[in-house]
């Protein structure tokens, strides 16, 4: 087995991975156990009482975190005419139409999010097989198929997080960076959890938020008390 350094071992001293913590305690542990030299992403995993096999229990949406994600997001916009200029003025990194489709068909994927005006979706559909598996396809449910390009681009650049429940009923998302500190991470997570609770399907039975865990990119999972999290 690989040996860990002294700093790594010391950061995890006295940590009981089976214990549940309040949100503040959990974040404190995540920050304490971050022992690498780069600025790790803090991630949340929420096990929900839903069955994603049923369409009415498939949770997919987005939320703008008050302090952003800490990541620089490259936004590509499919638009023509006046909307192309609007996208550029709003800060889009790449704007175009058929030219971008051809570029992507050639293997170029140097962007993180895509937005499209509704009239461009026929053109974008040509590369659906490329964008879809990479979760890069513009989606009306996520607000990325719209004529309000300025508003959407602003949200994405400000820290909009897209999320989708997986087959096991778990939602994973990045909620900030270790460098944010406890206060900003608490505020980001509160907003994220509030959004998840708002999306509870009427057909979901029993306990909705069943378990919650936090972790930094290279750190161990820290369990949170789901009852305390639901009260947020």
- Taking only the tens place, the pLDDT of each residue in 105-116 is 999 999 999 999
Q: Could you give phi then psi for residue 133, rounded to 5 degrees?
A: -60, -20
pLDDT at 4: 53
Residue 80 three-state SS? coil
In this structure, is residue 179 part of a structural domain? yes
Residue 111's CATH number: 3.40.50.790
CA distance 39 to 42: 9
Pairing of strands 113-116, 75-78: parallel
145 domain residue, yes or no = yes
Q: What confidence tens digit (pLDDT) does each residue in 204-232 have?
A: 888 999 999 999 998 889 999 999 988 87
Contact 124, 131 (CB under 8 A): yes
**Which of 122, 157, 192 is the C-terminal boundary of a domain?**
157
Q: Average pLDDT for residues 37-53, to the nearest whole number? A: 94
Does residue 64 sit within a domain?
A: no
Task: For 128-173, write each residue's pLDDT tens digit.
Answer: 999 999 989 999 988 999 999 999 999 999 889 999 999 999 999 9
Do 140 and 107 share a domain, yes or no? yes
Domain end, chosen from 157, 192, 214, is at: 157
Confidence band of 71 (pLDDT split at 50, 70, 90): confident
Assigned domain for 217 exists: yes
What's this model's pTM, rounded to 2 decimal places? 0.82
Which tokens hold the place of 29?
């542990």
In a domain, 134, yes or no: yes
Q: Sign of the C-alpha dihedral, residues 159, 160, 165, 166?
A: negative
Work out how many domains the chain is built from and give that number. Answer: 2
Nearest to 156 by CA among 191, 217, 125, 113: 113
Are residue 99 and residue 145 in the same domain, yes or no? yes
Instruction: Give the domain range for residue 47.
Output: 18-59+165-230
* Mean pLDDT, range 100-124, rounded to an integer: 96
Domain boundary among 98, 127, 157: 157
The pLDDT score that the predictor gives to residue 131 is 96
CATH of the domain at 22: 3.30.190.20
Residue-level pLDDT at 1: 44
């Amino acid at each position: 087995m690989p040996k860990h350094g002294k700093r790594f071992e010391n950061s995890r001293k006295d940590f009981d991975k089976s214990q549940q913590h309040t949100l503040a305690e959990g974040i404190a542990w995540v920050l304490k156990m971050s022992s690498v030299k780069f600025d790790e992403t803090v991630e949340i995993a929420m096990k929900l009482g839903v069955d994603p096999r049923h369409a009415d229990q498939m949770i997919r949406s987005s939320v703008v975190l008050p302090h952003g994600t800490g990541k620089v997001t490259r936004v590509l916009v499919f638009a023509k005419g006046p909307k192309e200029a609007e996208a550029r003025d709003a800060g889009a990194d790449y704007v175009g139409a058929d030219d971008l489709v051809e570029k992507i068909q050639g293997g170029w994927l140097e962007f993180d999010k895509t937005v499209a005006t509704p009239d461009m979706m026929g053109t974008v559909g040509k590369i659906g097989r490329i964008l879809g598996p990479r979760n890069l396809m513009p989606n009306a449910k996520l607000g990325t198929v719209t004529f309000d390009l300025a508003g959407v681009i602003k949200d994405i650049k400000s820290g909009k997080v897209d999320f989708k429940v997986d087959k096991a009923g778990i939602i994973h998302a990045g909620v900030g960076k270790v460098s944010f500190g406890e206060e900003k991470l608490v505020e980001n997570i509160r907003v994220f959890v509030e959004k998840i609770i708002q999306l509870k399907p009427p057909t979901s039975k029993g306990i909705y938020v069943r378990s919650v865990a936090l972790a930094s990119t290279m750190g161990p999972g820290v369990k949170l008390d789901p009852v305390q999290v639901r009260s947020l």
